[in-house]
Structure formats: C-alpha cells, structure tokens
Structure 1
Amino acid sequence: MNLTPIYSGKVRDLYRADSDHLVLVASDRLSAFDVVMAEPVPDKGRVLTALTHFWVNELAPFVSSSLVSCDPRVIAEHVGDIPGDWAGRATLSREATMVPLECIVRGRLAGQAYEEYRERGTVHGEVVPPGLRLTDPFEEPRFTPSTKSDAGHDLNISSSEAAALVGDETFERCRDTCLEVFRRASDRLAEHGLVLADTKFELGWVDGELVLCDEVITPDSSRLWPADQVRPGEVPPSFDKQPFRDWLDASGWNRTPPPPPVPAGVIDITAQRYREAYRLVTGASLEDWYGGGE
C-alpha cells in the first residue's frame, strides 16, 4: 500500500496517495466532549462515508466536491491493496486548498447557538429577533462560521470577522454556496419527514473551483431530527451520538480522560441511530454499501 500518513484525528485518518490525491478513512471511533471513547461504534465510519457519497451525488448539479471515489477497487488502483476493513470507510479525493473556516449553517435554534441566544440574545455575535425558543426556526437559515482549530475548540466568529479572515469575495462565495446547499438538502429531507436543524461544511479550492470537502451532512456534522417529534422548547431525539453523551452525563464523568467504560447497550443504540439515519436519508440499506454483509 503506497500511502504516506498525514494526520490522525479523533475520528478520521488522512493519507497522501500521490501529488494530487488524498485518502481519508472514517473510523468507528467516537468522540464525546473532545475525548475519544475506548469503545468503537459498529458501522459508524461506513455511515459517515456512505452519506457523504450520497450527498455529493445529490448536490453535484449545483456544487462540485473533492471526492473522486469510495469504491475500494478504484482506491486500490491508486495506492495498491487496502486493508479489508477500509471498505466503505475510505475515500479517494483530490487535494484541495482548504478555506480556513468551519462553514456552519443553522436553520433552527439549538446547541451552542441556543445557549448564546439565551444569555445574550445573539447568535455568533449577531443580534436575532427576541422570543425564540429551543428548536424554533430562524426566518431564514443563518451562515454562522467559526475558525478551524487543530487543538481545542473552534472559535465562533461573526460574518464580518470571517470576511476579514478570508477576504470578502471568498466569504461571500462560501456563504452563498453553503446556504443554497442547506436549502436544497433541507427540502429533500423534509420530503422524508426529517428536519435539518444545522450542519457544518468544509470548503476548499481545486483548480480555481470552490468545492465541498470532507464529510457532507452526516450525523457527526449535523443535527438531524424526526419532524414529527420536534416540539418548541424541547430537545428532540437525533440521529447521532446523543445516547453516548446522555449516558456520560448521567455517569458523573468529569469530561477528562480517561472516560468510563460505556455499556454495550448504549453502544448498540448509538449504532442503530447511525444506521437508521442512512436508511431514512437515502432509502437504502447500509448492507448494500461497500463493506456490507461481512
């Protein structure tokens, strides 16, 4: 296997394939409160990769991506034989010059945005109308960028701060692209009874073109809710790692390593939520994705 390791993150491992291509592997590792859990979540990496592939193809008429292929045979043509457990988890991508922003779009008030709004009446430092409750929709989706940080937490910044960081033209293109992608994805998900509350995009430049990079609208990068269970002022169930977070909170863990052992039942419920997210979004079975039926 002809790969050079570049980076190993909490969930993903990045390798250089050649001068123009990278291989990204989504593991089954799960990070909660910025700490990687000892227990993997079965099929999590395959779900993240499969959903990214789905959205890249769904959005292709509007925006390009850095993704070349998720097919293990195509990847092997570039780098030689790959480990069997990479099937369905590995992607071959064009190398991009990354925009140094986390491009977050929020359609509803939730998470950190809700905490800031409750304390100061703002979202990412910008005033929004009073009287909003948890899960309430904004009048229009909001582009709320943050800085990228390899160590520690990303820093929420205002639109003017983001524009100063990357330049007005790049900021406007990122904002307009992400808002349009969010609207298109939200409309499609609404047809399947799902609410896209918010999501994070990463963008980069390839041959002068602004493209989607990394994961696209997955349970790790998005809040995805069943529409029939959204109630104003209440936290709805979501298709992500919330069972892990809830159990850890109830355990009394102080959020510093090492984390406590997580029961098998919590792992199973979390894995089911990831698989269900794939089924509801795509209408397909994860067993039909690369690496299934093993």
Structure 2
Amino acid sequence: MVSEAQSIPGWRHIYSGKVRDLYASEDPADTRILVVASDRVSAFDFVLSPGIPQKGELLTSLSMWWFGELSDVPNHIAEGEIPDAVAGRAMLAMALEMLPIECVVRGYLTGSGWAEYVSSGTVCGIPLPAGLKNGDRLPEPLFTPAYKAPMGEHDENITFEKTVEIVGAERAAQLRDTSLAIYRRASEIAEAKGLILADTKFEFGVDADGVLRLADEALTSDSSRYWDTAAWESGTTPEERMASFDKQIVRDWLAAHWDQQGEPPALPADIVEMTAGRYRELIERLRG
C-alpha cells in the first residue's frame, strides 16, 4: 500500500504513485508540479515495506545529475525553490500531458526478456539470434514499450504498432528514436565509469508548445539495471556476471520468498541495508 503523503505548506497533494508523490501549488497562477521521491520501493508492481533509507534523496540526486549530463534533451525541470520540508528529494517540474507509454530500452538479455527468449526465442515479440545466454549483450538495443496501467494494475508490454495506435505514428517514432538515442549516450557515460547500463525505462510528457520532454526520473537505480563491467566480463555464472547496482537484490529476494499471491512479505533488514548500499555506490561511481 502507498503510505499517506506528507503535508507541505503552500502545496496540495494531487497524486501518489508507487514511489513518487505529486503536489500542485496552492497559487492558481503557478502551474508547476512538485515531484517528491519517497523512500518506498516497489517490485512486481507492488509497493513493499519497509522502505529503503534515503532512497528518495538518492533517486533525486541521480536523476538531476543525468538531466545535467543530457542537458540538450528537453526535460521537465522547472526553475524555483524546493520547500524545506522535502529539500534534497524533490524536483520542481513543468505541467505536462504525460504519455501513457513506458519507453523501455534493452541493451542486454535479462529479466523478463530472458524468460521470454528461453520460451520463444524472442523479446517482446522481437526475434533474436539463437544461442544467447542470460546477461548477453544484444546485437542492437531494443525499444520494447509498455502501456502504463492505472495504479494497482500491471503494466502491459505492447508492440510498436500498438504504440502507434495509442499516440500516433509521428509521436511513436519520436518516443522510440529519443529513447534509443538517450540509452546509447548514457551507456557510453556509464561504460567510462566501469558500469554497464543493461536496460532502462523512460517516461515522456508533452508541454503546452507540443515539445516532447523527458519526465519523472532519468536512469536511476529504480528505472534501470546497472552492472559492474569487470564482473560481467569475468563472471562464469549469471549471478557473477550481473552484479547489480539497483533493486535487483529486492527482486531476487522477493522471487525466492513470495509466490506473488496476496500481499508481499516485509523485506528483512539485511536486504534493505544491502540495497541502500548499492544505490549509494552507484551514485559514487557515476559521479566520481
């Protein structure tokens, strides 16, 4: 369950997602949105407990760093002061018309993509060469969109053709091309720091002038899989090759201790501590 959002003077709570809370200004003339990252952690479309200490600050810091690295890509950041109550874990954002497409880019074979490949030789319906192993680099990064389901429902993988039906041919092509371009640039930056960006997901919105803008978060530990390059090159098992800097620790523990029926169990303290440590280590390595 998503916990109750905090009260912030001058701001009115309007929505809570799995991880973030959104607020509108009480000033009718101010159209900006306050995006507050919580310490909540989600997996398999469920919000888990307890949260990860300082996760909101870590995610916000990493998103802001990536927005800076990708400064030529239009994004949702707006100018202004962050309220003291949420300093360090909030962003001021433009009001956008959010597109209901989760723009997933996969550069490596892992996760649900690996499971599908074993079953059918495809990832999200896209045929791949035979003989690939778990964690292998794909011949080319794949754009595999998903339809963003309402809160409490599961997101649905969709084809590019379905994306065209939802947002139109021109916008769908723009989402695909922009997502792949960002992924390739971010991968180069990560590789220079000894990291592999295995996959990631982006969300986009459109401003009042029709400009497509990167929104929500950018290349964080929640939205992306990062691996250690040296471990990937030398590892002999999937576990060794895919040494993770994200919430994969949480996913793995949950998969081993829960059948995805009913409410998920509480995370043990050591899993929470390990996950927080990996989030911090990723930021330290990326930012140097």
TM surpasses 0.5: yes
2:127 alignment counterpart: 127
User: Which of residues 270, 275, 283 in structure 2 aligns to 1:278?
Assistant: 283
Q: Which amino acid aligns with 1:193?
A: G
User: Which of residues 243, 249, 271 in structure 2 aligns to 1:237?
Assistant: 243
Alignment CA distance shift 1:33-1:99 (3 Å): closer
User: Which of residues 47, 57, 65 in structure 2 aligns to 1:36?
Assistant: 47
**RMSD of aligned alpha carbons:** 1.8
2:140 alignment counterpart: 140
Distance 1:67 1:233 in 2: 41
TM-score w.r.t. structure 1 length?
A: 0.87
1:3 alignment counterpart: 11
Q: How far apart are 1:163 and its partner, in Å? A: 1.5
Which structure has more RCO (C-alpha within 8 Å, separation ≥ 6)? 1
1:110 alignment counterpart: 110
Distance 1:131 1:258 in 2: 37
Distance 1:232 1:50 in 2: 34
User: Which of residues 213, 223, 226 in structure 2 aligns to 1:224?
Assistant: 226
Identical pairs, percent: 44
Q: How far apart are 1:47 and its partner, in Å? A: 1.0
Aligned length: 271
Q: How far apart are 1:258 and its partner, in Å? A: 4.1
Is contact 1:30–1:36 with CA below 8 Å preserved after alignment?
A: yes
1:247 alignment counterpart: 253
Q: Which amino acid aligns with 1:29?
A: R
Distance 1:20 1:197 in 2: 36
1:269 alignment counterpart: 274
Find the residue that maps to 2:140 and give its secondary structure: strand
TM-score w.r.t. structure 2 length?
A: 0.88
1:287 alignment counterpart: none
Alignment CA distance shift 1:248-1:104 (3 Å): closer
Structure 1, gaps ≥5 residues long: 77-81, 284-294
Q: Which amino acid aligns with 2:186?
A: A
1:66 alignment counterpart: 76
Q: Which amino acid aligns with 2:276?
A: A
1:288 alignment counterpart: none
